[in-house]
Amino acid sequence: MPVDVRILVLVLVGLWVDTTRATEEPQVRLASGRVIEGKVLAATVDGLQVETPRGTVELPWYTLSPGTRYRYDEAFRNAFPRVLRGLPIPPARELPKAEPRDGPTRRGSVPDKSSPAEPPAPAREVIEPRQPGSRLWKYVTFEEAPLIRGTDLPFRVPPQKIARYWGLQYGPTQNDVLYFIMVYDRAGQKYDRAWAYAPAAAELRAPVKLRGMRKRTADWQEVTYPEIGLSASFGPLRVQYGIVLRGHWDEAEEWTCEAQVRLKLKGMVSHFTAWGQIAPAAGSDPVPIHLLPDQPMLNMSVNVSGTAVTLDGSVRMGRFRLIPGRGMSRLVELTVTDSSGTTVYTDRKRLGHGETKSRYRFAFRLEGLQSGQRYRAIAELDLGPILGTVSVMRKLRMRRR
């Protein structure tokens, strides 16, 4: 067969394969390359719900391949130019995307009114967390902090040492950012010093040294740096912070940030703890900057096994897990109704404190739901007069036996 003819045949075969693949439902692929067999049910703020042969699972966004995430994660698609620049993705508030007037402005999240909104990802159910009573939408806005690398900060890393950098935007202006610089001593193989720098805070306009308190065993070591106190105002909303950075490593290095937050608005006061894992950057990489406070979200995942359903979740505030404090309830109320609107299940569970604050979750187990029936589960949590009531809805579809 002539060479030209063989090339033409290969091209036609390739086009046929691509066309055939385009008509199939897209695969759900993990970052490791593994393909998850099943059918996509919903795209949530936390990940992708997939109905697999073993039941319904929720795959966190960070576990999915870039192609799968781009296909289903609207926040990832909207922030893709930032991804290409190596910047962090602003966490999504809700699905579908709210109108601009409903929420605080944050980096990379201002919709373009000149173009129509993208259709939602191909899913049978779209989960919409709701915050009917929150006042943060009205007051909290953030100017986008400039792109900055660790080497751009007014700090020189000592010889024989390396540094990691992380930032927290605590106020409305682009200068209201607290930068942490964690220095690693190669000779001693330890982190014991850090510097805090906040250009808008008088006491931190020059980097201030923080001496860490260290714990060490044969298997692991940990360092905790002193608390940094800051405050900011978003119009009439006053926010006070006590921020603690902690590093822990055994086989892997892990950093966490814990902030005690006090909100005051027109005589109303609320307290909560924001806790989350962070990923500091090396000197040549853009410094990741997270936002606090942010809109609270109640998240809930669904796991179905036969006629038993487990609903578990937590309260999130952007990058952080929110732990209710004074002036807030810790009782999550769950109501389940059937397709006719009849209530078939109600219960209340207290947020439980596990081994670490990352385990501060709630869980409901439902037994005896009818096969082949549809249900709606709504969970609610009262976070007080400032943050309001957060709620989330999940649709349940029980398989026929």
Q: What is the pLDDT of residues 216-229, one digit of tens each?
A: 887 888 999 999 99
Average pLDDT of the residues in 95-113: 37
pLDDT tens-digit map of 373-396 = 899 999 999 999 999 999 999 988
pLDDT at residue number 188: 65
Amino acid at site 299? N
Residue 62 sits at φ, ψ, to 5 deg, of -70, -15
Average pLDDT of the residues in 264-272: 95
Residue extents of the structural domains in the chain: 3-124, 150-291, 296-397
Structure-model confidence comparison of residues 71 and 110, the more confident one: 71
What fold, for 3-124? SH3 type barrels. (2.30.30)
Backbone φ/ψ region at 74: left (φ over 0), alpha (ψ -120 to 50), beta: alpha
Average pLDDT of the residues in 269-297: 91
What band does 333 get if pLDDT is binned at 50, 70 and 90?
very high
Cα 271 from Cα 327, distance rounded (Å)? 7
DSSP state of 202: G
168: which 2 tokens?
């927290």
Identify the three-state secondary structure at position 214. Answer: strand
pLDDT of 115 over the 50 cut: no
pLDDT of 190 over the 90 cut: no
Cα 371 from Cα 22, distance rounded (Å)? 34
DSSP state of 63: G
114: which 2 tokens?
């000149």
Amino acid at site 21? R
pTM for this model (two decimals): 0.68
pLDDT of 143 over the 70 cut: yes
117: which 2 tokens?
């909104």
Average pLDDT of the residues in 267-286: 91
pLDDT at residue number 22: 42
Q: Superfamily assignment of 296-397 in CATH?
A: Immunoglobulins (2.60.40.10)
User: Any bridge partners for residue 251, and if so which?
Assistant: none
pLDDT of 215 over the 60 cut: yes
- In percent, the amount of the chain with pLDDT more than 90 equals 43
Cα 299 from Cα 320, distance rounded (Å)? 12
